[in-house]
């Protein structure tokens, strides 16, 4: 869903374009024992309505429902959203917070890339030019508490800033659109681990971030949003 | 390219770069589907592909090859307006009309997935469609009325 707009803006000018949208073998949500396996071509709408995710990984379902709008969710896929590497995308925050694994396949075989090593920079990922992202693996059990706080001006827009808190023994916090790639708020996580309250920990939300500047917000405003949204997410997640 | 549009097969030779909305408007001469922002934001180009709402400016015609597409021209049956079209008329869910085709198709798809929505769900369900005239009030009333009329 993002490639065609990029081509219209001349930000992407591929000489050859192969549509993988009909590779239906790559659209599935399966219980694989110690993890949930999600085919790269699984559409957001399928994530939103998956009974398995409702039972095992509600956070992924909840965040998938926040992507774009109905029309976008009917066509867009988790693999497309991940491989696109846009720091303003919602789903990569979930993959980071849950320590998901990206399964990629190429001519030299298959390799596993932890989500923390997958996103390299703006629209840049660890995928080699001849590799295809085929599956996302989300470890079980799912979170005991979570909250995604997405801030934007119009309902369907990209997040100006987003903050995801996931509780699962420890508390993990991921930030959307606070740098050239989706990141974990490690300062917040450290503060929580050493006993700080949610409000105290949230004060460290902007540490280590490099918030972008655009017509929606200055970096300073984004840093303020990050602190507020992280606090709200932590409180709603019960951290 | 062969796409079944409103129940009729449309077979046309088009450039690979052709967008679905261009295919509908220029190859099929079905100009009810509008191009608004051309960047997947406004929803004016919304049509149904195999029953689900999509933005036809952000899909290549090639991606719909072999699919069934419904546009605003195909909603009425035997001259009888679709319930959503009728509700938009009765509740005056439009002013200039430019967003209307997209709004109606988005509403049809939304009601298919959520037949008994609350007002808040209707507003959220139409988040992908922008209207610069109405302030949405009558559009939302129309969609709620259409849901109630089934």
**ipTM entry:** 0.95
Query: What mean pLDDT is predicted for residues A110-117?
Result: 98
Last residue of a domain, one of B74, B91, B119: B74
Gap from B128 CA to chain A (nearest CA, Å) = 5
> Is residue A4 assigned to a domain?
no
Measured between CA atoms, the residue of chain B closest to residue A3 is: B58
Chain B residues in contact with A68 by the CB 8 A cut-off are 128
Nearest to B112 by CA among B101, B100, B104, B102: B104
Q: A interface mutation test: which of B67, B127, B130 has the most A CBs within 10 A?
A: B127
Is B20 part of the contact surface with chain A (CB cutoff 8 Å)? no
**Residue A153 banded pLDDT, cuts 50, 70, 90:** confident
Measured between CA atoms, the residue of chain A closest to residue B47 is: A71
Map residue A80 onto helix, strand or coil.
helix
Q: Is the domain of A66 the same as that of A90?
A: yes
Q: Is the domain of B93 the same as that of B29?
A: no
The domain that holds B57 is classified in CATH as: 3.10.20.30
**Amino acid A125: pLDDT:** 97
Q: pLDDT tens digits, residue range B2-25?
A: 999 999 999 999 999 999 999 999
Chain B residues in contact with A71 by the CB 8 A cut-off are 43, 46, 53-55, 106, 128
Q: pLDDT tens digits, residue range A62-101?
A: 999 999 999 999 999 999 999 999 999 999 999 999 999 9
* Helices and strands (H, E) in chain A, number of each type: 11, 11
Domain count, chain A: 2
Q: Is the domain of B61 the same as that of B99?
A: no
Helix (H) or strand (E) holding A1: none
Listed by number, the residues of chain B in 22-61 with a beta carbon closer than 8 Å to a beta carbon of chain A are 38-41, 43, 46, 49, 52-55, 58-60
Is B125 part of the contact surface with chain A (CB cutoff 8 Å)? yes
Q: pLDDT tens digits, residue range A21-59?
A: 999 999 999 999 999 999 999 999 999 999 999 999 999
Range of the domain at A217: 145-237
In three state form, how does the secondary structure of chain B look?
CEEEECCEEEECCCCCCCEHHHHHHHHCCCCCCCCCCCCCCCCCCEEEECCEEEEHHHCEHHHHCCCEEECHHHCCECCECCHHHHHHHHCCCCCCCCCHHHHHHHHHHHHHHCCCCCHHHHHHHCCCCCCCCCCCHHHHHHHHHHHHCC
The domain that holds A182 is classified in CATH as: 3.30.390.50
Nearest to A100 by CA among A66, A131, A140, A50: A140
Last residue of a domain, one of A139, A154, A173: A139
Chain A residues in contact with B49 by the CB 8 A cut-off are 74
Contact A19 B62 (CB under 8 A): yes
Range of the domain at B134: 83-148
Contact A70 B59 (CB under 8 A): no
The domain that holds B119 is classified in CATH as: 1.10.150.120
pTM of the model: 0.94
Last residue of a domain, one of B56, B74, B92: B74
Gap from A70 CA to chain B (nearest CA, Å) = 7
> What is the rounded CA–CA span in Å between residue A120 and residue A233?
25
Q: Is the pLDDT of residue A156 over 90?
A: no
Listed by number, the residues of chain A in 143-202 with a beta carbon closer than 8 Å to a beta carbon of chain B are 154-156
Contact B54 A5 (CB under 8 A): no
Is A4 part of the contact surface with chain B (CB cutoff 8 Å)? yes
Q: Is the domain of A31 the same as that of A131?
A: yes
Q: Is the dihedral of CA B107, B112, B113, B115 positive or negative?
A: positive
């Amino acid at each position: 869903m993002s490639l065609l707009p990029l081509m219209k803006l001349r930000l992407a000018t591929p000489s050859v374009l192969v549509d993988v949208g009909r590779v239906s073998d790559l659209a599935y949500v399966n219980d694989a024992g110690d993890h949930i396996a999600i085919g790269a071509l699984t559409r957001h709408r399928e994530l939103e309505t998956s009974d398995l995710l409702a039972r095992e990984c509600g956070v992924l379902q909840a965040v998938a429902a926040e992507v774009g709008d109905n029309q976008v969710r009917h066509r867009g896929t988790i693999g497309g959203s991940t491989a696109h590497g846009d720091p303003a995308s919602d789903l990569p925050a979930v993959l980071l917070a849950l320590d998901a694994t990206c399964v990629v396949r190429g001519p030299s075989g298959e390799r596993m890339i932890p989500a923390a090593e997958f996103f390299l920079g703006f629209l840049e990922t660890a995928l080699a030019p001849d590799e295809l992202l085929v599956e996302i693996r989300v470890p079980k059990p799912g979170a005991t508490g979570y909250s995604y706080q997405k801030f934007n001006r119009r309902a369907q827009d990209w997040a100006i800033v987003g903050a995801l808190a996931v509780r699962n023994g420890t508390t993990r916090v991921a930030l959307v659109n606070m740098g050239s790639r989706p990141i974990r708020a490690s300062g917040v996580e450290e503060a929580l681990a050493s006993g700080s309250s949610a409000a105290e920990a949230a004060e460290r939300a902007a540490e280590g971030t490099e918030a972008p500047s655009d017509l929606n917000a200055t970096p300073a405003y984004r840093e303020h949003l990050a602190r507020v949204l992280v606090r709200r997410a932590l409180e709603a997640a019960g951290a | 390219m062969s796409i079944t549009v409103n129940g009729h097969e449309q077979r046309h030779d088009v450039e690979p770069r052709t967008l679905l909305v261009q295919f509908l408007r220029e190859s099929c001469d079905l100009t009810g589907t509008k191009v608004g922002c051309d960047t997947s934001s406004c929803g004016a180009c919304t049509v149904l592909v195999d029953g689900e709402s999509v933005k036809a400016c952000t899909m290549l015609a090639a991606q719909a090859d072999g699919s069934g597409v419904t546009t605003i021209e195909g909603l009425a049956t035997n001259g009888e307006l679709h319930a959503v079209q009728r509700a938009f008329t009765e509740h005056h869910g439009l002013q200039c009309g430019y967003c209307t085709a997209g709004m109606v198709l988005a509403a049809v798809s939304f009601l298919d997935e959520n037949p008994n929505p609350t007002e808040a769900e209707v507003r959220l369900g139409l988040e992908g469609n922008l209207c610069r005239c109405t302030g949405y009030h009558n559009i939302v009333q129309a969609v709620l009325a259409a849901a109630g009329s089934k």
